[in-house]
């Protein structure tokens, strides 16, 4: 059996995460038992939610255990199988974690899924046609529920969730406004993803400036908001929100290092009779087939053009992850393992 390089969480961050929180280890992959398959990972996913799980604190998911392989999504190829439904060569998506190989009990519901790479590249099943894409779909369709002509806004617009959100919202006839960091990302959001406008938060680093930028980009106010970041941008959106605006609360990356993120004027939620709903996409598996079908079609027809940042090799994962938390990635952040 092959040697398997893994990245473990060695110790918990105190404040900002650093490279020494992680440890590279080598292990042997075990012999397969009945119904197990051995998957050689081609790509592994890096996602902001992983930062929250590094803390030993109450959250919607159990903390990442110390001394164990970092958990996360993977795509790859079956290289050995003792399960009748999986053959060597099958392309699969799973939750194999930060390692080169995983042994999966394929009889467990949802543990592994075969995917078709005819029209959708394998890596996209970790982004636009995977968890981030379904996250965008759920927040838009089930929480914001926009009508044609309404204005919707999303932070981290150039990322995996943001790019899918833009395509889905445009397909529903919305005015779509993104917020991203840097002129290059903003150009990508408008020119390639088809957003109506994109605000560079680096040019608007405070509440007053961001509020003015939102007023210009959203002349009819904001009807729906997809929140990935938190902080002063959320405050600025509340100032521009229309009556009965809806907010899908997905991430708070500005607070992942542990500091609280107070709201400047929460009374605006009452004044505007707003609905704010937090959600975890893994709790809504019933929508995944419908969402993935639409997302796959958008990619296959060129209406969704996801961008990827790809780090090379398992050893690069910690630094790539720390870069993701600081917004250094452009699009979906992946690690290529082959």
Q: In angstroms, what CA-CA distances link 189 with 3, 200, 221, 300?
A: 41, 11, 20, 19
CA neighbours within 13 Å on the CB side: how many for 325? 19
pLDDT band at 97 (very low <50, low <70, confident <90, very high): very high
* pLDDT at residue 248 is higher than 80: yes
CB of 329 within 8 A of CB of 309? yes
Token digits for 263?
Answer: 């709201």
**Predicted pLDDT of residue 2:** 87
Angle in degrees, CA 326, 232, 202, rounded to 5: 50
Instruction: Domain 131-282: state its class.
Output: alpha beta
**CA dihedral of 133, 253, 227, 292, whole degrees rounded to 10:** 10
Cα–Cα distance measured from residue 139 to residue 161, given in angstroms and rounded to the nearest whole number: 10
Token digits for 49?
Answer: 């939610």
Q: Please report which residue ranges of 139-225 form alpha helices under DSSP H.
A: 160-171, 183-187, 207-217
pLDDT band at 1 (very low <50, low <70, confident <90, very high): confident
Task: Show Cβ contacts of residue 316 under 8 Å, excluding neighbours closer than 6 positions.
Answer: 335
Task: Show Cβ contacts of residue 253 under 8 Å, excluding neighbours closer than 6 positions.
Answer: 48, 51, 156, 228, 229, 230, 325
**Predicted pLDDT of residue 259:** 75
**Predicted pLDDT of residue 111:** 92
- The rounded percent of the chain whose pLDDT value lies above 90 is 88
**Predicted pLDDT of residue 327:** 87
What pTM was computed for the model? 0.90
CB of 156 within 8 A of CB of 185? no
Cα–Cα distance measured from residue 172 to residue 263, given in angstroms and rounded to the nearest whole number: 31
pLDDT digits (tens, 9 = 90+) for 252-288: 877 777 678 889 999 999 999 999 999 999 899 999 9
Phi, psi (rounded to 5 degrees) for 10: -85, -35
Mean pLDDT of the chain: 95
- Of 71-85, 165-179, 213-227, 243-257, the range with the lowest mean pLDDT is 243-257
pLDDT digits (tens, 9 = 90+) for 24-81: 999 999 999 999 999 999 999 999 889 989 998 777 678 999 999 999 999 999 999 9
**Predicted pLDDT of residue 113:** 94
Under CATH, which number does the domain 3-127+306-336 receive?
3.90.180.10
Cα–Cα distance measured from residue 335 to residue 242, given in angstroms and rounded to the nearest whole number: 40
Domain ranges across the chain: 3-127+306-336, 131-282
pLDDT band at 322 (very low <50, low <70, confident <90, very high): very high
**Predicted pLDDT of residue 57:** 79
CA neighbours within 13 Å on the CB side: how many for 241? 28
């Amino acid at each position: 059996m092959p040697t398997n390089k893994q990245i473990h969480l060695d110790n918990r961050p105190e404040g900002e995460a650093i490279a020494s929180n992680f440890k590279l280890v080598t292990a042997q992959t075990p012999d397969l038992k009945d119904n197990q398959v051995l998957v050689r990972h081609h790509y592994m996913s890096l996602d902001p939610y992983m930062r929250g799980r590094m803390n030993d604190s109450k959250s919607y998911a159990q903390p990442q255990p110390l001394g164990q392989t970092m958990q996360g999504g993977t795509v790859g190829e079956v290289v050995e199988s003792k399960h009748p439904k999986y053959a060597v060569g099958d392309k699969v998506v799973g939750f194999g974690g930060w390692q080169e190989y995983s042994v999966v009990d394929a009889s467990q519901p949802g543990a592994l899924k075969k995917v078709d790479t005819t029209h959708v590249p394998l890596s996209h099943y970790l982004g636009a046609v995977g968890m981030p894409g379904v996250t965008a779909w759920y927040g838009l369709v089930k929480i914001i529920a926009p009508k044609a002509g309404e204005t919707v806004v999303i932070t981290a617009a150039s990322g995996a969730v943001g790019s899918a959100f833009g395509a889905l919202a445009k397909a529903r006839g919305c005015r779509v406004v993104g917020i991203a960091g840097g002129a290059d990302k903003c150009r990508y959001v408008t020119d390639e993803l088809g957003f109506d406008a994109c605000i560079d938060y680096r040019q608007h680093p405070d509440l007053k400036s961001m509020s003015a930028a939102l007023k210009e980009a959203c002349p009819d106010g904001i009807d729906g908001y997809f929140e990935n970041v938190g902080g002063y941008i959320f405050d600025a959106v509340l100032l521009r929100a229309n009556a009965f605006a809806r907010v899908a609360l997905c991430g708070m990356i500005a607070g992942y290092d542990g500091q609280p993120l107070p709201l400047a004027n929460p009374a605006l939620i009452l004044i505007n009779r707003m609905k704010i709903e937090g959600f975890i996409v893994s709790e809504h598996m019933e929508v995944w087939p419908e969402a993935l079908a639409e997302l796959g079609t958008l990619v296959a027809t060129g209406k969704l053009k996801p961008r990827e940042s790809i780090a090379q090799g398992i050893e690069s994962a910690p630094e790539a992850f720390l870069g993701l938390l600081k917004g250094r990635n452009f699009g979906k952040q992946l690690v290529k393992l082959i």
